């Protein structure tokens, strides 16, 4: 990650500390304060909390428009995400897991020689990133950085934002190349 410019000293330092009980315990307590228990340092890892009008507590408890929109994208891809479980469908972990699922399906299609299916999964990744993740994950990262969270979590937030931006750029390039190639062969 450091060689790719995606990791910084904070992440490297805390990554080494994770091997100690003290470092791991400190990060576990900070994780709870930052991402799971509302309080002064809490930053919601849920899209609905970062997307304006649908961020009121009443709407986020009822999932809200952002959650409904990602759920529709999951259904379109044939994925059922958690149903009525404790984790809303627009939780950062669920959205990232969906991206991983799409990338794995794309890779499997390439491995099977199913070019059109691979392109479908690639387009789905791009559309999901552009429509659902990128509109809010930057705000989430900014809030983590402003929260007083330990440097490790600030570095992880920066890494996640940088990776998603890089992934969006990479997907956009590949889709543009595919469009150009299809025009040349038709």
Torsion angle of the four alpha carbons 147, 149, 153, 155, in this order, in degrees rounded to the nearest 10: 70
pTM value?
0.84
* Distance of alpha carbon 177 from the chain centroid: 25
Which tokens hold the place of 159?
A: 């890494």
Among residues 116, 141, 129, 132, which one has the least CA distance to residue 169? 129
Among residues 90, 40, 88, 38, which one has the least CA distance to residue 69? 90
Beta bridge partners of 91: 46
CB 46 within 8 A of CB 139: no
- Per-residue tens of pLDDT for the chain, all 186 residues: 666 666 667 777 766 666 666 677 888 899 999 999 999 999 999 999 999 654 444 444 457 889 999 999 999 999 987 656 678 999 999 999 999 999 999 999 999 999 999 999 999 999 999 999 999 999 999 999 999 898 889 988 988 999 999 999 999 999 999 888 765 443
* Distance of alpha carbon 147 from the chain centroid: 19
Which tokens hold the place of 105?
A: 């399906």
Beta bridge partners of 46: 91
Among residues 28, 67, 44, which one has the least CA distance to residue 143? 44
CB atoms within 10 A of CB 174: 15
Q: What angle do CA 165, 169, 174 make, to 5 degrees?
A: 145
Alpha carbon distances (Å) from 49 to 2, 120, 171, 177: 31, 30, 27, 36
Round to whole Å and give the CA distance between 172 and 178. 10
């Amino acid at each position: 990650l450091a060689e790719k410019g995606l990791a910084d000293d904070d992440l490297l330092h805390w990554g080494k500390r994770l091997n100690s009980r003290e470092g791991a315990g400190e990060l576990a307590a900070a994780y709870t304060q930052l991402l799971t228990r509302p309080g002064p340092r809490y930053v919601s890892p849920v899209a609905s909390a970062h997307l304006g009008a649908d961020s009121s507590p009443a709407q986020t408890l009822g999932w809200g428009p952002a959650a409904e929109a990602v759920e529709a994208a999951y259904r379109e891809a044939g994925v059922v995400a958690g149903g009525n479980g404790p984790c809303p469908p627009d939780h950062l972990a669920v959205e990232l897991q969906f991206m991983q699922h799409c990338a794995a399906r794309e890779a499997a299609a390439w491995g099977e020689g199913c070019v059109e299916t691979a392109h479908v999964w690639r387009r789905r990744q791009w559309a999901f990133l552009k429509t659902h993740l990128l509109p809010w994950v930057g705000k989430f990262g900014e809030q983590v950085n402003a929260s007083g969270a330990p440097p490790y979590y600030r570095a992880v937030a920066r890494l996640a934002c940088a990776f998603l931006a890089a992934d969006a750029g990479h997907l956009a390039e590949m889709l543009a190349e595919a469009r150009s190639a299809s025009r040349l062969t038709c």
